[in-house]
Amino acid sequence: MVLSETAERITSMEIRGAGRIARAAVEALKEYSEGLDSPDLTAYKKSMQEAADTLLATRPTAVSLPNAIHYTLASLKAADSLPAARAALRERADEFIRSSLHAIEWIAEIGARHISDGDVLLTHCNSQAALACIIEAHRQGKEIEVYATEVRPRGQGLLTLQALDQAGIRTNYIIDSAVRHFMNEIDLVIVGADAVTVNGAVVNKIGTAPIALAANEARTNVIVAAETYKFAPLTILGDLIEIEERSGSEVLSEEIAARFRHVTIRNPVFDVTPASYIDLIITEKGALPPGLAYVIIRDYLGWSIEEFSKPHGLDDRNTD
């Protein structure tokens, strides 16, 4: 079944990156809907909500996932028949996937304006949005050089190296802990985001926060490239974004770990960078300072205050 396979691939990080996760989840919902044999509209909505819950459980930190699912399932509110509901979900899913892919193009265009000829950049993890800005600046003829981090423990930096090398961009590959050593050579840090809170703090791959701290100390600007669906509506009410912690076997093999009786391996996947360390957030709607993050949630994500108590559900409160 496509739904369960997609959920497993997201959980195992075979599908990684907030944008890719969101698009894969929406595509899985669409395919699940097409193959669903429901007797009536009520049963259909119930099954779709159960499918959504399966996907939502896979990666708790990436708010692109609940935002994408909320946007897709919201299409069912006005449906008055099973065929109409299925058609509405199909149309909304296709619309999300198209707009998500176009968002990267728009972010690249806006982000490239903030990269100057001769800049030395640093990027962390494998953000499609951040890489798009860098590659677009290079395509425009700007002479740039990039420092790319290793990104322990999964090594996503290798994917970044591949993308930059294919684009013909001169790149230095460094271990995560060498960032402070090289920071004085960096003109601009540009990273992606898995979530942006209402106060402009950014949740991103573990290691982003110390990079931003080092940049702040060195007076190096930090830009975050993030699609609007990565902004976290529930943080308006003070909810905290859950920081996913994965198996210690990603850090040390079980065989090696078994040698140590009193050691616990901690493996958080993300950290939180305060808004005070971020100079600008680039979205497909434009560039804004972190302090205006609430504008994106209010004006572009389509969440209403009534939905915050149960943001993904299709119960009576959300289907009137």
The residues assigned a catalytic role are 125, 194
Does residue 124 contact residue 193 with C-beta atoms inside 8 Å? Answer: no
Is the Cβ–Cβ distance between 225 and 287 less than 8 Å?
Answer: no
3-state SS, the chain, equals: CHHHHHHHHHHCCCCCCHHHHHHHHHHHHHHHHHHCCCCCHHHHHHHHHHHHHHHHCCCCCCCHHHHHHHHHHHHHCCCCCHHHHHHHHHHHHHHHHHHHHHHHHHHHHHHHCCCCCCCEEEECCCCHHHHHHHHHHHHCCCCCEEEEECCCCCCCHHHHHHHHHHCCCEEEEECHHHHHHHHHHCCEEEECCCEECCCCCEEEECCHHHHHHHHHHCCCEEEEECCHHHECHHHHHCCCCCCCECCHHHCCCHHHHCCCCCCCCCCECEEEECHHHCCEEEECCEEECHHHHHHHHHHCCCCCHHHCCCCCCCCHHHHC
Q: How far is CA 242 from the centre of its chain?
A: 14
Q: How far apart are CA 177 and CA 245, in angstroms?
A: 20
